[in-house]
Structure 1
Amino acid sequence: MTEPERTVRERQDGDLAVLAAVLKRVHAHDGYPVEGVADPRAWLEHPHEIQSWTALVDDVPVGQVTLTEAHSEDDAARAWIERTGGTVTDIAVMARLFLDPDHRGAGLAGFLILALRHHAQLIGRTVVFDVMAKDTAAIHLYDRFGAEQIAEVTHRFGDGHAEPALVYAFPVPRLAG
């Protein structure tokens, strides 16, 4: 049996229906996202999207990540600004990262993160994001990729719900001189 072909590319509109179904499986498996998946396609189409990427196995979408413009109401943006004194124009927010549970462990989540970080570097932004404290597998992934925890916050959502969360930033890569 041949090894499946695993790739990452910029997300296309045709990926959204399949990714919405994957998101429902992820939510059933992990409880991510905490806001639920009543309208998964709308959740995938982030209003402040800069760029999104899709992970594929044999040309079938199995996961994705989105880089978004930062806004002062973002938990991650607020924490980073408080810590560094920077502005929202210095950062971009990693959001909407998920991978089908059946396709984890093959490196695809890491490749999604690398694609996002590379794009952020090209546009001169530091990547910040938050993760629910309950999502320990995601936290381990971010730790392995060198993310730095910069704050603890309470993520508020829905009708008065709250969830402890951690805010991270990826260090800006430095070029050897």
Structure 2
Amino acid sequence: MNIESSGVPDERPSRWVRQRTDGDVDECVRVLAEVHARDGYPVNWPDQPGEWLSRGPLLGSWVAGLEGGLVGHVSLSQGGEGDLAPTLWSERNGATRGMTAVVSRLFVAPQARGHRIGALLIGQAVEEARRRGLYPVLDVVASDAAAAALYERLGWKLMATVEQQWSAHQTVAIRCYAAPS
């Protein structure tokens, strides 16, 4: 049991966020597989999920825990090919794409939901983006209503919903968000 600063017992489970290490990747992949089985995220399961979590120009990756176990993940990167939100934000703000940072690879184990783990992880990524003088943005598949609801509860602003061609046979609707000011 935790004790709040008021001295009153706090029955909430112990939560934490820290920078991801190479040793966390296998556990992250295990959690991601649970999320994929339950929610279909990511839409297309990667051939090498550990590499997928670490791909791109990463600015940082963090993991979250609940009662000692790893239950969530988020990354922050420079916008890459296929990231729509940096371009939209830049066009609307008369800035370059390089002024943004993309929050991505966010997932929380199904059994850990309801403990504000997603909000903690997003907060960490946003804090790092702002520390670097970058504006946080993100893309989410429009069919992921739970993720969109989380971002909107946290004050993220929907910039647009656009169609994106992922392959010759797959077009996906993407919601592009900008962090609250």
Taking structure 2 as the reference length, what is the TM-score of the superposition?
0.88
SS of 1:62's equivalent in the other structure is strand
Residue in structure 2 matched with residue 131 of structure 1 by the alignment: 140
Q: Which runs of 5 or more residues in structure 2 are unaligned?
A: 2-10
Partner of residue 62, structure 2: 53
Match of 1:163 in 2: 172
Q: Which runs of 5+ in 1 are unaligned?
A: 173-177
Aligned-partner Cα distance in 2 for 1:37–1:5: 31
Structure 1 residue 73, shift from structure 2 partner: 4.6
Secondary structure in 1 matching 2:71: strand
Deviation at 1:159, TM superposition (A): 4.8
Query: Which residue in the other structure is 1:145 paired with?
Result: 154
> Are 2:83 and 2:139, in contact at CA under 8 Å, matched by a contact in 1?
no
Partner of 1:70: 79
C-alpha offsets along residues 80-135 of structure 1, whole Å, 9 cap, x if unaligned?
22222211221100110000011001011100011111111111111011111111
> Is 2:88 the partner of 1:92?
no
Q: What is residue 106 of structure 1 aligned with on the other side?
A: 115
Secondary structure of the residue that 1:22 maps to in structure 2?
helix
**Match in the other structure for 2:5:** none
% identity of equivalent residues:
37
Aligned twin of 1:79: 88
Higher relative contact order (CA 8 A, sep 6+): 1
Shift of 1:158: 4.2
Moved over 4 A (4+): none
Q: Counterpart in 2 of 1:18?
A: 27
Letter in 2 for 1:128: V
Deviations 1:143-164 (A, max 9, x none): 1111000111123324531211
Q: Is the 8 A contact 2:140 2:175 kept in 1?
A: yes
1:9 partnered with 2:32: no
- What one-letter code is carried by the residue in structure 1 that aligns with 2:97? V
Query: Which range is displaced more, 26-35 or 3-12?
Result: 3-12
Aligned counterpart, 1:175: none
Alpha carbons of 1:115 and 1:29: their partners in 2 closer, same or farther (altered >3 Å)? same
- Alignment RMSD, CA only? 1.7
> C-alpha separation between the residues in 2 aligned to 1:73 and 1:164?
13
Matches of 1:28 and 1:12 in 2, distance apart? 25
Structure having the higher Rg: 2
Q: How many corresponding residue pairs?
A: 172
Q: What's the counterpart of residue 116 of structure 1?
A: 125
Task: Tell me, in whole angstroms, the C-alpha distance in 2 between the residues paired with 1:7 and 1:69.
Answer: 25
